[in-house]
Amino acid sequence: MSTATPIDPSLVYRETARDVRGALAARRPNLRVEAMREALAVWHPFAAEHAVWQAPQPEGTYIEVREARH
């Protein structure tokens, strides 16, 4: 006895590799995504330089964080 749920054929379709390749080649870059990539490329090197890394502290204790001087 099969317990597989039948798949509605209207929800599934196939395309040839040639059609998919053509569709992907015709896509243009998303300008918002490209802007985010550019911003990350510019600012990422600064993040590592100015990051504050600290170990978890017991509850109720405070750590003074001072700005790095160059």
The one-character DSSP state at 59 is T
State the pLDDT confidence band at 31, using cuts at 50, 70 and 90.
very high
Please, what sign has the CA dihedral across residues 35, 37, 42, 44? positive
Higher pLDDT among residues 20 and 6, named by residue? 20
Specify whether the CB–CB gap between 66 and 52 falls below 8 A.
no
Gap between the Cα atoms of 55 and 40, Å rounded: 26
**Which pLDDT score, from 0 to 100, does residue 26 have?**
96
Contacts of 49 (CB under 8 A, 6+ apart): 68
**Which pLDDT score, from 0 to 100, does residue 24 have?**
94
Higher pLDDT among residues 40 and 4, named by residue? 40
